[in-house]
Amino acid sequence: AQSVTQLDSHVSVSEGTPVLLRCNYSSSYSPSLFWYVQHPNKGLQLLLKYTSAATLVKGINGFEAEFKKSETSFHLTKPSAHMSDAAEYFCVVSDENGGFKTIFGAGTRLFVKA
């Protein structure tokens, strides 16, 4: 069965330092993986997605994620945090094996300190 685990409910970094948001997934098929960001009182916005092409995926605002099948991970990184990155981040797995499913992780709240 599909599942998504975001390993940290909260992450706090200082502005200008690297960001790492961790995500592990479980899927019995070849999944598509996504990271979405949700700013307060705003809709979910796609950061990046993996769809079985390059394992290192670059997204918007300097974020990137690496698909590691052997580790069933899809961690999100950014070299240098900006205050505007403070938001809720969701890791998402989607596939159609046995019926369409899109599973969101519980989310990681990113705090950025000045």
Partner 1 sequence: DTGVSQNPRHKITKRGQNVTFRCDPISEHNRLYWYRQTLGQGPEFLTYFQNEAQLEKSRLLSDRFSAERPKGSFSTLEIQRTEQGDSAMYLCASSSGLAVQETQYFGPGTRLLVL
Contact positions toward partner 1, by CB under 8 A?
32, 34, 36, 42-46, 49, 51-52, 90, 94-96, 99-107
Residue closer to partner 1, measured from CB, 12 or 30: 30
Smallest distance from the beta carbon of 63 to partner 1, in angstroms?
A: 15
**Residue 66 CB: number of other CB atoms within 10 A?**
15
| Residue written as token pair 């969101």 | 104
| Residue written as token pair 């997204």 | 59
Residue closer to partner 1, measured from CB, 18 or 98: 98
Burial class (CB in 10 A: 0-12, 13-18, 19+), 38: middle
Residue closer to partner 1, measured from CB, 63 or 90: 90
